[in-house]
Structure 1
Amino acid sequence: MAANSFRNNKVHPAPNNVDIDENRGRQLTEADIYNADFETAISATKFGKFNVILFLLSIPAGWTSMFETTTMSYVFPAAHCDLNLSLNDKGSLNAVTFLGMVTSGFVWGFLCDTLGRKKLMVIGYLIDAMFVIMSSFSQNYTLLIIFKFFGGFIINGPFAALTAYMSEFHCSKYRSRVQLGRGMIVSCGTMVLPLLAWAILPQKIDIRLDDNIVLHSWNIYLLVCAIPSLISGILFIFMPESPKFLMTVGRNKEALAVFKQVFSINTGKSKEEFPIKHLVDETKLERVDESRHGGHITANRSKSLALKEGFQQIKPLCFPPHLKHIILVCTMQSMYMLSINTLRLWLPQIFQSISDYEYYNNGTTASLCTMLEILNSEKDSDEGCYVNFSASVYLNTMVISMVSMSGYVVAGSLINRLGKKPLLAILSVFGGLFAISIYFAQNTATVLTLASLFLSFGGICGNVILTIVIDLFPTKLRTVTISLVMMLGRSASMAGNLVFPLLLNLGCGPPFFSIGSIVIGCSVLAILLPNTDLKALK
């Protein structure tokens, strides 16, 4: 019907050099020009300067979530004297950010579809920067845990919006590469944090603001970690709203203006040369299987209607054939994230304990279990609490990050040859064995090697699960499914960081045997997964 409304209009052919649908490799037809869908329109904008700018802006934005969850693991060794932190306090500080993320999971999904991507990112990143800055002025454990909770609560939204935003400015030809690039950005952030820690934490800093507030090196470290959020919130003010979101809510005139702007930046041509003249009204399109896939999306819907339609999107997951699949992938992802994020966030403390043992024993080394006994013993002398800063702690975590990044490259070449299920099963078995073997390590180099391999294999498995989710669930259910999978995975991460210090109190073996067994268990569950390599569900 939309095409008929333009039947009497005079058609102005698009210029020959811009009338190719880049994504589909064909000439744009009259129907495309005057009734284009999103894929046709975004393909016509080409790939160019705007996409490069967007990728550069996503670097600080992509770091924010990882910074929010990881900074405390570097703060513990430096702040344990100032804050008098116990093992359980450290576990709570690691876990509380994930608690904030879990609490806000569905809230942000609703706001993202209601407010739009840009507004959510601008507001979210700036508020997150505010809470990180507030946490940097904390003088006690209570204030620090409150601000870390709200930091996790806030950062979940803009990070999810960023993922959608980057995808919605690229045609399907580039979309999968964009998400791979986003993953690499996050991995690079894991190398930036120990570099910052190495540069800032060993410094003798005591800035007294008044009788109650004294800033030490760890306070300055947290303050510096607010920079990515602050920069991102400011820069996204100058970016356009996602055209996909604008089309989804019936704001086609604004969406077309964004397409023209992107086209002009990418090609250097004027906006008037953009070949698409009108966009299809997505709010009036009939859904093929409305009852199964959650109903339609209403244009300019109210907040209450958006919430109702959001629940309609979740409903199909509670019934066959999706129910068994959602239970399986949620269970596996929770097990992977519990094991990975627990050991990852405790490794700096483990390496610090190794360094402390060597410091107090004149450079001699011992088995890991012997060196970890220092975590449960008091080493503070009559002269007061002492913080032993060692470059090896930061260098070791950087090595682990580099091994993990290399693992993604290798896995990318193997996944198509082996298939997702065999790759999951193999990496889970070996990853679990590596985690268990850490218990038997007799020196730092062995701990570093085994931990690097475990985190690399586990991280790959977690990402493979997400690709399986994309294959298993229809397009209209994928976003909500991934959100649910990640929310439960973060819940497991929170639980793991709370339980880990309790296991350490029981002895050296329980933490590593527990983590290793959980990951090996995933290899059994992988057998139950459908073979998505043969045929992805539509």
Structure 2
Amino acid sequence: MGKLDSGPLGGATFDDAVRLTGFGRFHYESILVCSLCVLIIGFQNGLSAYVFPAAQCELHLTSYEIGLLNVAFLAGGTVSCFFWGILADLYGRRKVLIGTHLANGSVTILCALSPYTTSIVLCRFLNGFLIGGPGSIIFPYFAEFQPPKFRNKTSCYCGLFFTLSWLILPLLAHLILPLSISYNLGGVFVVSPWRLFMVVIGIPEILVGLWFVRMPESPKYYAAVGKVDKSLGILKKMYAANTGRNKDDFPVKYLKSESKIQTTNYENNISCERKVIRILKTVLSQIKSLYQPPLRFTTVLMCSIMFTNMFGMFGLGMWLPELFVRFERYQALHPDSTISVKELASLFTEDASEACQSFFDNAVINNTVAMGVTSLVFNFASCIAVGLVNIRSVTMVALVLGGGSAGSIYWMTSSVQNLIVSCIFQATMITANMTIAGIGVELFPTTVNGIAVCLILFSGRIGAVLSNILFGYLVDSYCGVAVLVVSVVVFLGGLLCLFIPSDNNNRGLASESSNVGVSVISDRQFR
């Protein structure tokens, strides 16, 4: 095996080597497959908002049970928050991406075939657990292929596909959910539109998993764990694909060391079990260091801000389509009347038989599409704004606007008013979510920023779980209270942004371990 060398002839740093591969066919393919991966992640996150209200009659679901289905998905993602980062450092990003996509697509299809609510809850938990793999790994994997010049720009635009998924999802729902399909298969379960919808979501994910089979492992990962020959081999293939020339013409013959890392005798007979124990000990040690000076304040602050963001984004955000349905049903019955959210809450719970009648209106889909378009435009504008103003300011403005718009829903009396404020709320919540993680990477030392981001996301997912429990319990009786709670929590998150440090003093805790280190957790750090 080769080593990271510092010789003068034919050597280059990793970033220089990636730059010398050019930018062409390989990068276009990596952008496409990673963007589709992000699209699938968005599909899974937004799926519950459309599928389970449509399945409510068939499965005899109450609003509280729909909330539990949402919680099951979010709980799965919360449980797996650190798991996939550790696994990716043991076996590489590519294997995790392949395995999780294939498994998650299969679980989604199995969920569509399940006749029992209990098994569907289990499937949604597994969906959340498995999709946490790509969700945690895809951006590091994607960025490690990109030349430094294009890394931030391509990552930002790749991230827009998450927002795009929330535009495509209601369009698919518009095409599939109104279909008149109802076939009883042996009395076990009914083939219905919502089941078809889940199958349509599951199949592309399996195809994306198969696509990753032809993609290489991250060369930066290989360099970080000492497998430099493999890293260089991938860089040569990238060069050949981008330029059309022979891979042996690649000008870099070895990678220069960018820090003093002891790479000798890396390959030994250490068992996987000992590696796992060593990684777990280091993870716990890094988490402990985040709650000690000088990082304690920053850690608590960023975790709190992400908690408030996802409390709103995956709480009220996942229930907005249901509120749209209720507004449209009321206006269909009372075209000349208005009604507020607090009055709307129990409107369709008094008559159980009526509440279970299937209702689907194109206006509901139009509303959610409008929200998706608004979010996409807002996020695109925020990508430009981040380069012009302080990223903290973007996050603060987004959360304050989100909290204000959520609160105003309480006093809305028509579906049009509800649509306007919902568009603002959804767009600001997604924008804030995108920027909070970026701030976290900037504030924490490189030696712990991977764990710090995982911890921040973990806190956010806890907020998402709690808000869905809140909405599931209150939506039929005290919906207005739930909306106001979200408004206050999100607005407080915006105010907390005032306390985000404006400099990088937090980076003094530890020196950077390596510029070619893995972006989650590298076993090389534990040697």
TM-score normalised to the size of structure 2? 0.89
1:251-266 correspondence to structure 2 within 5 Å: 251-266=227-242
Say which of 209, 226, 231 aligns to 2:207: 231
What amino acid sits opposite 2:310 in the alignment? M
Distance 1:5 1:403, change over 3 A: closer
What's 1:519 paired with?
A: 490
Q: Which runs of no fewer than 5 residues in structure 1 stay unpaired?
A: 8-29, 288-295
The Cα of 1:363 is off from its aligned counterpart by 7.2
What amino acid sits opposite 2:350 in the alignment? S
Say which of 433, 442, 447 aligns to 1:476: 447
What's 1:308 paired with?
A: 278
Q: Deviations over 1:142-190 (max 9, x none)?
A: 1110100011111111332222210110132221112202211111111
1:359-378 correspondence to structure 2 within 5 Å: 359-361=332-334, 364-378=337-351
Q: Which runs of no fewer than 5 residues in structure 2 stay unpaired?
A: 513-527
Say which of 239, 242, 246 aligns to 2:218: 242
Q: In structure 1, how many angstroms separate the alpha carbons of the residues matched to 2:144 and 2:381?
A: 28
1:208 alignment partner, SS class: strand
The Cα of 1:248 is off from its aligned counterpart by 1.6
Contact 1:132–1:226 under 8 Å retained in 2: yes
The Cα of 1:403 is off from its aligned counterpart by 0.9
Distance 1:46 1:81, change over 3 A: same
Distance 1:233 1:54, change over 3 A: same
Say which of 346, 357, 372 aligns to 2:330: 357
The Cα of 1:428 is off from its aligned counterpart by 2.8
What's 2:319 paired with?
A: 346
Q: In structure 2, how many angstroms separate the alpha carbons of the residues matched to 1:116 and 1:268?
A: 28
Contact 1:250–1:281 under 8 Å retained in 2: no
The Cα of 1:502 is off from its aligned counterpart by 2.2
What amino acid sits opposite 2:282 in the alignment? Q
What's 1:432 paired with?
A: 403
What's 1:196 paired with?
A: 172
What's 2:366 paired with?
A: 395
The Cα of 1:299 is off from its aligned counterpart by 5.5
What amino acid sits opposite 1:312 in the alignment? T
The Cα of 1:399 is off from its aligned counterpart by 0.6
What's 1:455 paired with?
A: 426
The Cα of 1:107 is off from its aligned counterpart by 1.4
1:174-193 correspondence to structure 2 within 5 Å: 174-193=150-169
What's 2:123 paired with?
A: 147
The Cα of 1:495 is off from its aligned counterpart by 1.2
The Cα of 1:117 is off from its aligned counterpart by 1.0
Q: In structure 1, how many angstroms separate the alpha carbons of the residues matched to 2:318 and 2:265?
A: 40
Distance 1:426 1:254, change over 3 A: closer
Contact 1:342–1:497 under 8 Å retained in 2: yes
Q: Deviations over 1:53-90 (max 9, x none)?
A: 11111232112222222211101332111011111101
Contact 2:325–2:364 under 8 Å retained in 1: yes
Runs of 4 or more consecutive aligned structure 1 residues displaced over 6 Å after TM superposition: 2-7, 281-284, 533-538
2:378 alignment partner, SS class: helix
Q: In structure 2, how many angstroms separate the alpha carbons of the residues matched to 1:357 and 1:454?
A: 23
Q: Deviations over 1:450-470 (max 9, x none)?
A: 111122222222222222112
Q: Does 1:157 align with 2:128?
A: no
Contact 2:240–2:247 under 8 Å retained in 1: yes
Q: In structure 1, how many angstroms separate the alpha carbons of the residues matched to 2:259 and 2:67?
A: 47
Distance 1:505 1:5, change over 3 A: closer
2:448 alignment partner, SS class: helix
Q: In structure 1, how many angstroms separate the alpha carbons of the residues matched to 2:100 and 2:111?
A: 16
Q: Deviations over 1:293-318 (max 9, x none)?
A: xxx99657643325424542524323
Q: Deviations over 1:305-343 (max 9, x none)?
A: 254245425243232211211111011101111111111
Distance 1:5 1:321, change over 3 A: closer
Number of aligned pairs?
Answer: 503
Q: Does 1:404 align with 2:375?
A: yes
User: What is the RMSD computed on CA atoms of the aligned residues?
Assistant: 2.7
What's 1:270 paired with?
A: 246
What's 1:27 paired with?
A: none
The Cα of 1:283 is off from its aligned counterpart by 9.8
Say which of 323, 332, 335 aligns to 2:296: 323
What amino acid sits opposite 1:433 in the alignment? G
Contact 2:5–2:255 under 8 Å retained in 1: no
Q: Deviations over 1:341-370 (max 9, x none)?
A: 111110111111112223344675433333
Distance 1:213 1:320, change over 3 A: same
Contact 1:95–1:498 under 8 Å retained in 2: yes
Say which of 334, 342, 345 aligns to 2:307: 334
Q: Does 1:171 align with 2:147?
A: yes
Q: In structure 2, how many angstroms separate the alpha carbons of the residues matched to 1:398 and 1:95?
A: 24
Identify which of structures 1 and 2 has the higher relative contact order when contacts are C-alpha pairs closer than 8 Å and 6+ apart: 2
1:376 alignment partner, SS class: coil
What's 2:111 paired with?
A: 135
1:387 alignment partner, SS class: coil
Q: In structure 2, how many angstroms separate the alpha carbons of the residues matched to 1:156 and 1:401?
A: 23
What's 2:22 paired with?
A: 46
The Cα of 1:490 is off from its aligned counterpart by 1.1
TM-score normalised to the size of structure 1? 0.87
Q: In structure 2, how many angstroms separate the alpha carbons of the residues matched to 1:56 and 1:423?
A: 28
Contact 1:247–1:281 under 8 Å retained in 2: no
What amino acid sits opposite 2:362 in the alignment? A
The Cα of 1:530 is off from its aligned counterpart by 0.7
What's 1:209 paired with?
A: 185
Q: Deviations over 1:260-302 (max 9, x none)?
A: 0000001111101001112346896169xxxxxxxx9965764
Contact 1:118–1:242 under 8 Å retained in 2: yes
What amino acid sits opposite 1:531 in the alignment? S
Q: In structure 2, how many angstroms separate the alpha carbons of the residues matched to 1:64 and 1:359?
A: 34
